[in-house]
C-alpha cells in the first residue's frame, strides 16, 4: 500500500500500525508496546520527522516516539517510514498538552524539543513547549537522571526558555548560542528540517540540555 496515493491524512493515520492510537492506554506499558526494555526517548513537535528518524536509525538499542499535533504533518513522517520502516520508532498524533496522560513515572529518559513554535504573544506564553507549565508536565514522566534537549534559532524563545528554568526547578547542564560552531555540543548533531532551513540562511542555532 503506497501511503502517498491515499487521500485524507486522518484516515491514513487511523489505519497505520506505526501510530499508537489511544496512547493513554499505553501509559506505564511502553516496554510491552516495543516488546523490549530499551530506553525510551521522545520528540515533541517533530514535524516531518527527519530528526527522530535519523536518531532511531543510528540507535537501534533505543526506542523513540515522535509526537506531532497535526495529521497532515505526521503523514509526511509516515511516508518516510513506509520506505524503510524502523522497529524502534513509533508515532503519536496528539497535542502535547495531554502528554502527562500518555507516559508513566520515570518512563522516558530523554525529551527532544526542536524549533518549537515560538507563540510570540505574551498571552500565549503557556503554549510554548519549553515553558514552566510544560516542564511541570515533563517532570511527571522523565526519569530522575533524564535530560531535555532544546534547539531553536529563535533568540526570544531561547531566552524565555532559559529564564523559565530556576522557577520550574530545572538547571542547564550545557548551553550554546551557536551550536554549529560549538565543538563540544555539535558532536553527533542531527539536523532537523527547520535547522537545515534556518542555518542555511546564516541564523545561529541555540541549544540547551537541562535536568532537574
Burial class (CB in 10 A: 0-12, 13-18, 19+), 140: middle
Q: How many CB atoms lie within 10 A of CB 171?
A: 10
Are 191 and 51 in contact by the 8 Å Cβ rule? The answer is yes
Give the residue with the Cβ less far from ligand SAM, 34 or 128: 128
Which of 67/142 has CB closer to ligand SAM?
67
**Minimum gap (Å) between residue 36 Cβ and ligand SAM:** 26
**139 assigned to active site:** no
Q: Nine-digit cell at 151?
A: 534547539
- Cα distances (Å, whole numbers) of residue 195 to 74, 86, 198, 203: 18, 23, 5, 9
Return the number of the residue (97 or 182) whose C-beta is nearest ligand SAM.
97
Other CB atoms within 10 A of residue 81 CB: 20
Which residues lie near ligand SAM (CB under 6 A)? 44-47, 67-70, 73, 95-97, 114-117, 192-195
Q: CB of residue 48 vs ligand SAM: minimum separation in angstroms?
A: 7
Minimum distance of ligand SAM from residue 97's CB (angstroms): 6
CA dist 56 and 45 (Å) reads: 16
DSSP string, 25-36: GGTT-HHHHHTS
Of 109, 117, 139, 178, which residue is the catalytic one? 117
Residue 67, all three cell numbers: 509526537
Name which of 34 and 53 has its Cβ closer to ligand SAM: 53
Q: How do beta strands 108-114 and 89-93 pair?
A: unpaired
Residues 6+ apart with CB under 8 A from 25: none
Q: How far is the CB of 105 from ligand SAM (least distance, A)?
A: 21
Q: Which residues are catalytic?
A: 117
Amino acid at each position: 500500500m503506497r501511503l502517498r496515493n491515499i487521500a485524507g491524512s486522518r484516515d491514513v493515520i487511523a489505519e497505520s500500525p506505526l501510530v499508537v492510537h489511544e496512547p493513554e492506554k499505553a501509559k506505564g506499558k511502553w516496554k510491552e508496546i516495543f516488546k523490549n526494555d530499551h530506553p525510551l526517548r521522545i520528540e515533541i513537535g517533530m514535524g516531518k520527522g527527519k530528526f527522530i528518524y535519523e536518531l532511531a536509525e543510528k540507535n537501534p538499542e533505543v526506542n523513540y516516539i515522535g509526537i506531532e499535533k497535526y495529521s497532515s504533518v505526521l503523514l509526511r513522517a509516515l511516508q518516510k517510514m513506509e520506505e524503510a520502516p524502523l522497529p524502534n520508532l513509533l508515532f503519536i498524533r496528539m497535542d502535547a498538552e495531554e502528554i502527562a496522560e500518555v507516559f508513566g513515572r520515570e518512563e522516558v529518559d530523554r525529551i527532544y524539543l526542536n524549533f518549537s513554535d515560538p507563540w510570540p504573544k505574551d498571552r500565549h506564553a503557556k503554549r510554548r513547549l519549553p515553558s514552566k507549565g510544560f516542564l511541570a508536565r515533563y517532570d511527571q514522566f522523565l526519569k530522575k537522571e533524564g535530560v531535555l534537549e532544546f534547539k531553536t534559532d529563535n533568540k526570544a524563545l531561547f531566552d524565555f526558555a532559559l529564564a523559565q528554568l530556576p522557577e520550574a526547578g530545572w538547571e542547564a547542564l550545557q548551553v550554546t548560542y551557536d551550536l554549529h560552531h560549538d565543538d563540544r555540543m555539535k558532536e553527533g548533531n542531527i539536523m532537523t528540517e527547520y535547522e537545515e532551513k534556518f542555518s542555511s540562511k546564516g541564523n545561529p542555532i541555540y541549544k540547551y540540555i537541562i535536568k532537574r
